[in-house]
Structure 1
Amino acid sequence: MADGVVPAADAPAPDFTLPDTHGTPTHLADLRGEPVLVVFFPFAFSGTCTAELGELRDHAGEFESAGVRVLAVSTDPVFTLKAWQEIEGFGFDLLSDFWPHGRAAQAFGVFDDSTGHALRGSFLVDADGIVRWSVVQPRGGRRDLDDYLAALAEV
């Protein structure tokens, strides 16, 4: 299971800088001024992760209407995420937490040290960098799209 502490609601979100599928660094603190949904997932190309991120892709309009930027993060390498994004047509950023391995997931308390990947944890961070909502599923658990849509009311 995860060894770190999940940030509580109303706490500052841990900062990170991670490369996107083009290798361009994305720094969470640079996104202040807009709400961000940070979605950790275990592995590209896996069935549950593909289904979950596919739901976010298929409901992108709701996130866009709320002004929420979606960042999906895994410990996969950049090249794996790029191939997956091209196949699945995800319109949001996929970020690689590959090296230092799992550092962002550790900061958010969702790194599973026994398996070397992130648990399914999602964090809605407001425009000031404060966590307003979160959900973390144990290994094998799946997030519910309706929970995301309800959380949009928090921003």
Structure 2
Amino acid sequence: MAIEVGGRAPGFELKDNHGRTVRLSDLRGERSVVLVFYPFAFTGVCTGELTALQEDLERFVNDEVQLLAVSCDSMHTLRVYAEQEALEYPLLSDFWPHGNVARAYGVFDEDKGCAVRGTFVIDRSGVVRWRVVNALPDARDRSDYLKALDTL
């Protein structure tokens, strides 16, 4: 079951596509976070969603908000994927222990071995203020994220 709105966002420490450590706790008190879980790099729906976020990057990465995208792909896979798709925000690897962060957020599909399409808007104090969880084939609408950010 996915983390509920009003609940505390589970902390995590993951490597991004450049090998840098990203901790949710480092953003607490500084910026809100849009945390986007996606199944796999180099797939059609995921690429469509992530490039759509890139198109509105100034709304998702600024002094108020940080966009973080998480998959169970390796850091090396994510580096090539970000370069190929010209993604300029952190892609975090939940590769090992495999899917632990996705599990903590309740969005890991044990049968498929990947995250489903879960998005969490987390306020500066670390509380989940909005979420959406879609099945693997169902793309999310970035305008919903923007509406959720406007309420913070």
Fold equivalence (TM over 0.5): yes
Aligned residues: 151
1:18 aligns with 2:14: yes
Q: What is aligned with 1:87? A: 84
Residue deviations 1:63-100, cap 9 Å, x none?
Answer: 24672100000000000000011111111100000000
1:49 counterpart SS class: helix
Displacement after TM superposition at 1:154 (Å): 2.3
* Alignment partner of 1:60 out of 57, 61, 73: 57
2:34 counterpart SS class: strand
Give the Cα separation in 2 of the matches to 1:142 and 1:63: 18
Displacement after TM superposition at 1:148 (Å): 1.2
Q: What is aligned with 1:138? A: 135
* Alignment partner of 2:3 out of 3, 7, 18: 7
CA contact 2:69–2:90 (8 Å) conserved in 1: yes
Q: What is aligned with 2:24? A: 28
1:45 counterpart SS class: coil
Q: TM-score, normalised by structure 2?
A: 0.95
Q: What is aligned with 1:129? A: 126
1:38 aligns with 2:35: yes
Q: Which consecutive aligned stretches of 4+ in structure 1 deviate over 6 angstroms post-superposition?
A: none
Residues 71-110 of structure 1: pairs in structure 2 closer than 5 A: 71-110=68-107
Q: TM-score, normalised by structure 1?
A: 0.94
Give the Cα separation in 2 of the matches to 1:139 and 1:42: 7
Residue deviations 1:14-66, cap 9 Å, x none?
Answer: 11110011222111111102101100000001000000000100011222467
CA contact 1:133–1:154 (8 Å) conserved in 2: no
Give the Cα separation in 2 of the matches to 1:154 and 1:10: 14
CA contact 2:61–2:67 (8 Å) conserved in 1: no
Q: What is aligned with 2:146? A: 149
Q: Which runs of 5+ in 2 are unaligned?
A: none
**RMSD across aligned C-alpha pairs, in angstroms?**
1.1
Q: What is aligned with 1:51? A: 48
CA contact 2:2–2:106 (8 Å) conserved in 1: yes
Q: Which runs of 5+ in 1 are unaligned?
A: none
Which shifted more, 92-101 or 19-28? 19-28
